[in-house]
Amino acid sequence: MNSTTRTDLPADGGLSIKLHELSLSIEGKTILDNLTLDAQVKRLGVVGRNGSGKSSLSRVLSGLVEAKSGELLVDGFNPFKDRKAALRGIGLLFQNPDHQIIFPTVLEEVVFGLRQLGQSKQLAKQNALATLAAFGKEHWQDAHVASLSGGQKHLVCLMAVMAMQPSLIILDEPFAGLDIPTKKQLTRYLSQFPGSLIHISHDPDDLAGYEQMLWLEGGKIAAFGASSEVLPAYLARMHKIGDGDDISQLAG
Ligand SMILES: Nc1ncnc2c1ncn2[C@@H]1O[C@H](COP(=O)(O)OP(=O)(O)O)[C@@H](O)[C@H]1O
Ligand SMILES: [Mg+2]
């Protein structure tokens, strides 16, 4: 590693995310607008108002959607073009676990991702059980997902993603609507994740310990840098808007 004076690097480096003039349009509407970023990411928070492009960015970064204009490299590869590397290296956790879970039981759900990685049935089952054990949830293996609470379903999704041992997990507002104890427990599991985390939230309280912050506004980068600088500016702006009456505006 070369000597650098950049202040946005976490102490232990992290995974490289490079965007160069990246834009995403859907049906002629610009959703992400000319994003350029060169970051080493260990714990990156992404904040922004509803509709600012956070979920779209999560889909682009995980390779689910192609940004046809500009360049993108996550850990040195383009996640849309190199689907194998993306499946292995990048996990995505949606806000709504019901959009993620497809199997009836917890074990089947966790096994599925590992089978996708090419593991044999036997190895996938062994690794899935090892992941459940690491979370102290072996007794959940035959539980029907439909019988679980919202927080428990989130944990199933997190276990399924973590079992695949990605180097990056992207979390798209995973804690919205969860109660405080559930949030705290999931945050504790996440803090033990050895890889990199990109955590999207409109609520800075969810992002304690995230040393870098990306603020999106209208599909553009409003700010990127140390959380200690970006978050106060973001909050001041949000409160200022909140003191006005912009939610009554219909055209935007
Ligand atoms: N598939 C889509 N088709 C059309 N418009 C979309 C689509 N996905 C997102 N958008 C629009 O893109 C903008 C950003 O959305 P999104 O990425 O979901 O923002 P956020 O997650 O910050 O709330 C919004 O105006 C939204 O309506
Ligand atoms: Mg969103």
Tell me the pLDDT tens digit for each residue of 168-212.
999 999 887 788 888 888 888 898 899 999 999 988 888 988 999
68 or 129: which leads in pLDDT:
129
Residue 22 forms part of a structural domain: yes
- pLDDT for 6 beyond 70: no
Residue 6 forms part of a structural domain: no
The domain total for the chain is 1
Which among 29, 31, 94, 200 is the best mutation to test ligand 1's pocket, defined by most ligand atoms within 8 Å of the CB? Answer: 31
Ligand 1 neighbours by CB, cut-off 6 Å = 26-27, 29, 31, 48, 50-56
115-124, 199-208, 224-233: the lowest-pLDDT one: 199-208
Residue 200 forms part of a structural domain: yes
Residue 5 forms part of a structural domain: no
What is the three-class DSSP state of 14? coil
pLDDT grade, residue 119 (50/70/90)?
Answer: very high
6-10, 17-21, 160-164, 169-173: the lowest-pLDDT one: 6-10
What is the three-class DSSP state of 69? strand
pLDDT grade, residue 3 (50/70/90)?
Answer: very low
Measured CA distances, 232 to 6, 47, 167, 220 (Å): 20, 12, 29, 19
Give 172 Cα–ligand 2 centroid separation in angstroms: 7
Give 95 Cα–ligand 1 centroid separation in angstroms: 14
Q: In this predicted structure, what is the pLDDT of residue 8?
A: 43
CA-nearest residue for atom 12, ligand 1, is 31
244 or 171: which leads in pLDDT:
171
- pLDDT for 18 beyond 70: yes
Residue 7 forms part of a structural domain: no
Q: What CATH number has the domain bearing residue 130?
A: 3.40.50.300
Residue 208 forms part of a structural domain: yes
Q: For 103, what's the count of Cα atoms within 13 Å in the CB-facing half-sphere? A: 15
| Dihedral (Cα; 215, 251, 30, 8), 10-degree rounding | -10
Q: Which ligand 1 atom is the nearest neighbour of the CA of 49?
A: 22
Interatomic CA distance for residues 74 and 195, integer angstroms: 13
Give 231 Cα–ligand 1 centroid separation in angstroms: 23
Range of the domain at 207: 16-244
Residue 250 forms part of a structural domain: no
CA-nearest residue for atom 5, ligand 1, is 26
Interatomic CA distance for residues 183 and 158, integer angstroms: 13
CA-nearest residue for atom 4, ligand 1, is 26
Residue 89 forms part of a structural domain: yes
Give 23 Cα–ligand 1 centroid separation in angstroms: 13
Q: Which ligand 1 atom is the nearest neighbour of the CA of 200?
A: 21
Q: Which ligand 1 atom is the nearest neighbour of the CA of 48?
A: 22
Q: In this predicted structure, what is the pLDDT of residue 95?
A: 84
Per-residue pLDDT reduced to its tens digit, 48-89: 999 999 999 999 999 999 998 999 999 999 999 999 999 999
- pLDDT for 231 beyond 80: yes
Q: Identify which ligand lies nearest to the alpha carbon of 174.
A: 2
- Check if the beta carbon of residue 63 is closer than 8 Å to that of residue 90: yes
Q: Which ligand 1 atom is the nearest neighbour of the CA of 57?
A: 17
pLDDT grade, residue 247 (50/70/90)?
Answer: low
Interatomic CA distance for residues 59 and 109, integer angstroms: 21
Question: Nearest-5° angle of CA 138, CA 154, CA 24?
Answer: 135
Q: Which ligand 1 atom is the nearest neighbour of the CA of 172?
A: 21
